[in-house]
Amino acid sequence: MNNSKTKDSYFIGIFEKYNFRFLITDCSNSVSEAVNRHNMKESSAILVSKAMLGAFFLAGLVKDEMTVSIQLEGNGEMERVMTYSNRTGKMRGMAKYPNVVADAGDLTLGIGTGVLRITRWGGIQKLHQSITALSSSNFEDNLLNYLWDSEQLVSFLSMDVRENQENVFSSGIILQALPETEASLIEMLQEKIQSIDSTTAELFLGGARSALKRIETVLGSEAKILEEGSPEFYCGCSVEKIKNVVSSMGKEEALDILNERGSIEMTCEFCREVYKLDPEEVNMLFL
């Protein structure tokens, strides 16, 4: 059972003593919403949850407003996972096959031989896309490889993602060295975080704020919090966008469907929201 008492939260800030920025979050409710809307289970649910958290890590550590998409694609049973987040943790995610059980020893995460594709948009303009081959059975390692290859920034991250019946626990932290951070500071921070003697799951038992307190103690440094908020499940679909799709079908096709079914129903592939347009609404589109 998800601890529904705990609201999703995130904190973005800096450990000034180490010259590291961080993002720490518990986004269990937001991720569970995506998992439940798509009826995802098993490996599919876990991988989508991690990729949602990963997209938030990438979007949240950048100063400018940005949307990040993480896609995993390959020839395995799951075929494709797509997730999105903006820098305040408005996130969504899906898997092409939502009920895949990858073997424990599966080195491909259920994705098969495949790639990690990361796209960053600032505003409406696509800024940057990068594609790297999946090289580890561990999603976090693939993400760290990407960060190192693309930005040459030292990062440490830890995720606690677990499925429990209808809900998913999803929390984690990413720490990233700011440019020009001295190697000695990086080493010192690494040593301290490795000395934490509890699992990530234990660390996040009381939510993101208490996990942060614990990390402050371990690092012997107070976090300077620059931003805090609540992640949420979010899909940008709307009845207006659905109307645009119907308009672009053309009058003839739209009226054919209307004659056959009495209304036009469309399901958003990202959030499974069903939109129903009645005859009057459809006719209005073609006046």
Which contiguous run of DSSP H or E holds residue 261? helix 251-261
Structure tokens at 89: 């943790």
- How many chain residues are in contact with Zn ion, going by CB under 5 A? 6
CB of 266 to Zn ion, least distance (A): 10
User: Whose Cβ is closer to Zn ion: residue 57's or residue 234's?
Assistant: 234
CA distances 174 to 11, 54, 117, 144, 279, Å, are 11, 9, 19, 10, 50
Structure tokens at 36: 């439940």
User: Whose Cβ is closer to Zn ion: residue 203's or residue 235's?
Assistant: 235
User: Whose Cβ is closer to Zn ion: residue 204's or residue 270's?
Assistant: 270
Which one of 79-87, 100-108, 187-195, 267-275 is the stretch in contact with Zn ion (CB under 5 A)? 267-275
**34 near Zn ion, rule: CB under 5 A:** no
Contact between residue 114 and residue 74 where contact means Cβ atoms under 8 Å apart: yes
User: Whose Cβ is closer to Zn ion: residue 18's or residue 233's?
Assistant: 233
Q: How many CA atoms within 13 Å lie on the side-chain side of 186?
A: 12
CB of 235 to Zn ion, least distance (A): 3
User: Whose Cβ is closer to Zn ion: residue 42's or residue 273's?
Assistant: 273
User: Whose Cβ is closer to Zn ion: residue 225's or residue 268's?
Assistant: 268
Structure tokens at 283: 């006719």
Q: How many CB atoms are located within 10 Å of the residue 141 CB? A: 13
Instruction: Calculate ∠ Cα 200-109-38, nearest 5°.
Output: 85
Q: What is the 3-state secondary structure (H, E, C) of 99-134?
A: CCCCCCCCCCCCCCCEEEEEEEEECCEEEEEEEEEC
CB of 80 to Zn ion, least distance (A): 17
CB of 110 to Zn ion, least distance (A): 24
Among 27, 72, 271, 277, binds Zn ion (CB under 5 A): 271
Backbone angles phi, psi at 40, to 5 degrees: -85, 145
CB of 258 to Zn ion, least distance (A): 23
User: Whose Cβ is closer to Zn ion: residue 228's or residue 273's?
Assistant: 273
CB of 271 to Zn ion, least distance (A): 3
d(C-alpha 22, C-alpha 133), whole Å: 26
Among 257, 268, 283, 285, binds Zn ion (CB under 5 A): 268
Per-residue binder mask for Zn ion (CB under 5 A), 227-266, x = binder: --------x-x-----------------------------
Question: Which stretches of the chain bind Zn ion, using CB under 5 A?
Answer: 235, 237, 268, 270-271, 273
